[in-house]
Chains A and B, each alone.
Chain A
């Protein structure tokens, strides 16, 4: 039986992880799990630890582990700490040796994509066997390549065999937010459903809801959702970035959010992007001058 199916014992931990409830994953009592599921459960826990900023601890914990699942996680933990070269090497060698390991596919592809080697990531992921996480990752990579058409295909394929899964719903929403029109509303429903249910309401889901509302042009509602996200985690970088966008669109002050974003995540794409554009502006503007000086 598929351990992630609605009857499976990993469903809760899986959903919690993808809903961004890392502490719930870490605290999840996995002692009652069957042997075959204990490794995936541990993988989720370790990934949650990394995602909540405990990469160092994870790396230390996994010192000397050589099963592909744990080895790749250790590499990922190192990668997250900025030790990119070594981590990449480890991952490359693991890809050579055991590319059919599901954890390796996900983590490996994540790292490769983050390194800009998206095609390699995709080819690694193409070996997945019914892993929804792999599907979601493919969708995201396709979207970041601006290949909405391919991402959509991927989602539609996955829906045939995993209609009700959280990840497929999320991936569909990601695509929907690129397509727009009615799909905005559908994405909104997916996120709203998650964000408003007490068990799955997290900054991630709230941001999802807010983003969908923002694209729908419903700024006041989006603001409420973002406020809620920031209440849950005032340092959530994406919440801050979206709050800035929203504030500009709504014609409101946003300096406060901008300065906290600069504090929290100086390398957030939003900030690097505008810094780059600011430079671009100066360069481009320099090409023009008036014929007569003022």
Chain B
């Protein structure tokens, strides 16, 4: 017997009644002591107590939708309560003995009660009246319940019977009168026998007899026509009913004391019963066999209740209640890269692809794993072997090692299963797994054949094991976690974290999250704690974002935590889920039915915080710009983290903005906000901040606003602003503020004013002294005169030289003082668009066509990529004969290596050379001679010097160096392009820079060089392409075609560019005007991509026009227009064409016949007219006048013109 999963337990007196709240995590418990308790079983707290009954309370029920509950007690009373107002609303009196059970109807405003007065009553709680009394039982009725859907009631009584009552009459009576037709009335009158009181509202439909003693409890099945009853005969009986009759199906025997209550499992084919024998028993509904039983030491069970929605039960016993689950609801699952492997409720193994959001069909059925009704506990996946390890708690813990089928073809039973006992089993390496045995506290390391290779005694008592990085295990002990090296059999690290239940590794394997009931601890792979956080609500699961954010789920929230421990809520949850993967805004999870689900989340907040932590301002900026991230929490977060300047970006409220601006020293904003709010307090603070920054202009403004004249005066003094100081003096005069006047006068050194002022306020002695001190004798006289004194009357102390105020040396008032280092962050600058890297627009593409004297249409260049593949390859295939060549390389059938005996074998390089007729493969094999021989025969290569870099490149990349035995040189291994191949006759070397890379890199570079008018560079690049392709290997025939096309393209470009380069070398030579014109005309001849051909044509057109070859110019203009009749170039062309056609004459006769077919000789750049003899280069296919036969191809610089050749081989077959 495994332990039941107890979620909550309360201590109290005997619990006689229990009711679950349908939505909230609440449970009502009615006690033998007359108390009714309301518990939050999730938090484990007592919410309320209701004490109005007198004596034991046995019946209790929540209303499904209203904030009501009902109770019935031994005081014969039924009470209806509001849990909101926490008061009893009213009492229903009528029963004449103990009330045993009370239940609300699921939709009608009815309460059903059963009582020891042998009646069952139905009450209307809206008008608080008794509407029906059912008599018939002739002993206490112990229990009465409504049918969940139909108009039926089932009751149990100590008279040993169970009765089913039809209450359709009652419903009809209490619903609208029109609903009953005459026929209905007739039918009812005929079918229903009135009871002894002539009452047809509720009539007995069936009387079920079978129990030998009184029946304590009875209930309906939620969907099937089944009834379950429990009685003092210790039996639990199952009954079935049809429209017309009901009968006993079977009896579940097992309780060895009175069975006090029973019910059907709401979702599974199970029966649960409790009894005074202190057991809870679980039965299989279909087989009526015992599945599980749970025994308490001292407490008799009295009642059991099931939660209507979730998989939760509660049982009341002598000392309280327990809330429990029958089984773990956490589905067994494992995640590997983009796949989730899980076991669903049918015990089928399935996978789920995160990238495509697709669930696979069932791959395996694990029906036989463990016991029925016991779901598997864990799943561990081995990608190397594509096998799974599944554990089940059955029989004290078992595991099975099963290979997954290649394709998911349905729920097949696994064939090759290896099993054993153990509580946990995880893969620790490709070919090893660890099995933990809790009772013996040992860990067995097993290989894939399930034999133990090593046994480890755990260093301390542990609960569970988890993968701990390669070769290591994480051992979860009750109060710590241990990182254990399997190989060395020793503890690598230890961390005190209590009660760790699950371990979730980050995608990069650098961090792990240790989940315990209420804590998340993030550790590094070496078990150093990074951060830890506490949750009051139970933590269920976690998954890592790719950027190092942990998302975790509690019972009711999805939250996140950064590595530094900053956390927050992402969203609330209605039901418990198990997070499996997060990708952008998509959060994947499994629900309790083990179905994959996709939730949408808003990652903005944590992305933002992460960006902040990583100081990734670009990302922060884009988040601020693109999402509406606001709210007090983020502001206070930013403030707390010391980023007021960033918080400033989010805030609208002026007061807050002001505070933040002051905090980050952003005076501009602060001034703005202060102006808006205009409160003295703010100005004071602003002035202080501005002063400390040295921004005295702001200080001045603040002082002005504050009308703090003294300070202003002083400010003007120190900044040397005499003008304003004078004005201050005037203002002081206006204000009649003598102190201020005096002060200003001192600041200004204005003695007259001072004396004047002193006189005004009748302080003549002071005025006199002042005048005297400054040597103003006339003034002294005047004062004496005015006061009627003579000099002799006055005794004044010795007066030293008058003090004049020091003057500001520099007139700093014109400008601000040097400001304190600007606190403007990168971030703000970015917001203001001052950082160059932040600008989104690309640099203007350089218009490199200046050499051609025209602008390129940007579109044309872009079209390019697409056009290339569509180019018609119209070349001579002669050089590409794919037929067998006449190489004398023998194809040995048997390989010497296969034979036994000692001696030295053939190296792989030699095999390559033997396996392939491709020159590149011979190069890779280091067999340069044969490679050259091959190239010579295939394409007439004679000048190998230009190919040397390519030779060395290929050869250098052919081997890797694996350090093996210490002290010896590394082992060379040969890099193959045939990665899957092991047949030594088919293996071939990897050739670097394949066709794909030529196409996507070099070729585009060449085109770019053409566009940028960088012709020398372009020739080099295209020649590089040729040298690359002469030594390459391809995968299939279509690639051969492509390679040919690229060779042809490169050749055409080289010829074209060379012609243009030749022309430029003579362009300024007046004597060569004819040649100049000819070359520009020939430049239009090679097959170039359309935009490039336009370049050639435009150039030829312009040159012809300027040289007054109007016929020719018109010809090129027409060709330009034929290619593209829109845009600036076309405009130009049209004009030139119009002008030229009017003239209709060529000034200089050149050798270019626009109507004749001809090619250009790649050496002399002269026409080879059709029909004239020519020779070709076997590799590039470039044509030459016959006189060039035997010389080196001007295009490839490798091959010999006109040499006999069999054609380049790029494919082995």
Contacts and interface: CB of A to CB of B under 8 A. Distances in A.
Nearest to A180: B982
Contact of B967 (A110, A185, A211, A215): A110
Interface in A196-215: 196-200, 204, 207-208, 211, 214-215
Given A15-B487, A197-B471, A281-B928, A215 B1200 contact: no
B979 A216 contact: yes
A144 B1192 CA distance: 42
Given A12-B488, A146-B904, A285-B945, A290 B1001 contact: no
Given A269-B970, A290-B1200, A251 B992 contact: yes
A37 interface: no
Contacts of B943: 288-290
A39 interface: no
B429 A193 contact: yes
A30 to B, nearest CB: 15
B948 interface: yes
A173 to B, nearest CB: 9
Contacts of A199: 471-472, 485, 487-488, 492
A210 to B, nearest CB: 8
Nearest to B911: A146
Interface string A232-265: 0000001001101100111100000000000000
Nearest to A51: B966
A110 B965 contact: yes
Contacts of A215: 960, 973, 975-976, 979
Contact of B976 (A140, A180, A186, A197): A180
Given A110-B965, A291-B1190, A217 B979 contact: yes
Interface stretch (A57-65, A88-96, A97-105, A270-278): A270-278
Interface string A161-187: 001101000100010011111111110
A198 B526 contact: yes
Interface in A1-59: 6, 11-12, 15, 17-18, 20, 47, 50-51
A173 B905 CA distance: 19
Contact of B982 (A18, A183, A198, A287): A183
A76 B997 CA distance: 48
Contacts of B964: 136, 140, 143, 170, 174
B944 A288 contact: yes
Contacts of A51: 966-967
B666 interface: no
Contacts of A217: 979, 990
Given A193-B470, A249-B975, A274-B956, A146 B932 contact: no
Nearest to B962: A211
A148 interface: yes
Interface stretch (B207-215, B653-661, B895-903, B1116-1124): B895-903
**Which has the most chain A C-beta neighbours within 10 Å: B509, B902, B908?**
B902
B928 A277 contact: yes
**Which has the most chain A C-beta neighbours within 10 Å: B953, B967, B976?**
B967
B1181 interface: no
A83 interface: no
Q: Is the interface of A mostly helix, strand, loop or mixed?
A: helix
A294 B1192 contact: yes
A290 B1190 contact: yes
A120 interface: no
B489 interface: yes
A217 B964 CA distance: 21
A284 B942 CA distance: 11
Chain B: number of interface residues, binned into ranges? 35 or more
Contact of A248 (B898, B929, B956): B956
**Which has the most chain A C-beta neighbours within 10 Å: B907, B973, B990, B1189?**
B973
A266 B472 CA distance: 39
A80 interface: yes
A253 to B, nearest CB: 12
B678 to A, nearest CB: 60
Interface in A98-120: 107, 110, 113-114, 119
A113 B968 contact: yes
B307 interface: no
B897 A211 contact: no
A251 B1028 CA distance: 12
Contacts of A293: 1191
A47 B966 contact: yes
Given A163-B453, A181-B982, A288-B943, A274 B952 contact: yes
Contact of A284 (B488, B902, B932, B952): B932
Given A146-B907, A179-B982, A248 B953 contact: yes
A146 B908 contact: yes
A19 to B, nearest CB: 10
A259 B900 CA distance: 43
**Which has the most chain B C-beta neighbours within 10 Å: A113, A181, A190?**
A181
Contacts of A110: 965, 967-968
**Which has the most chain A C-beta neighbours within 10 Å: B469, B907, B968, B1191?**
B968
Contacts of A124: none
B971 A143 contact: yes
Contacts of A114: 967-969
A189 to B, nearest CB: 4
B430 interface: yes
B1179 interface: no
B492 A198 contact: yes
A113 B944 CA distance: 37
A288 B942 contact: yes
B572 to A, nearest CB: 38
Contacts of A122: 902
Contact of B509 (A12, A194, A196, A251): A196
Contacts of B981: 180-181
Nearest to A217: B979
Given A149-B900, A180-B982, A269-B961, A189 B976 contact: no
A147 interface: yes
Nearest to B955: A277
A282 B952 CA distance: 11
Given A196-B509, A290-B1191, A211 B960 contact: yes
B1115 to A, nearest CB: 35
Contacts of A270: 956, 959, 961
B906 interface: yes
A164 B454 contact: yes
**Which has the most chain B C-beta neighbours within 10 Å: A15, A200, A288?**
A288
Nearest to A118: B904
A121 B904 CA distance: 14
B613 interface: no
B806 to A, nearest CB: 64
A197 B945 contact: no
A214 B975 contact: yes
B911 to A, nearest CB: 9
Given A164-B454, A251-B997, A291-B1190, A278 B952 contact: yes
Contact of B968 (A140, A280, A285): A140
A225 interface: no
A241 B898 CA distance: 31
B969 A269 contact: yes
Contacts of A278: 948, 952
A184 B960 contact: no
A137 interface: yes
A251 B957 contact: no
B987 interface: yes
A192 interface: yes
A80 B993 CA distance: 39
B941 A288 contact: yes
Nearest to B947: A285
B952 A281 contact: yes
B288 interface: no
Q: Which 3 residue pairs across A and B have the least CB separation, nearest first?
A: A291-B1190, A146-B905, A285-B944
14 contacts: A12-B488, A80-B967, A136-B965, A143-B971, A174-B964, A193-B470, A242-B961, A249-B990, A284-B944, A285-B948, A288-B943, A289-B942, A290-B1190, A294-B1192
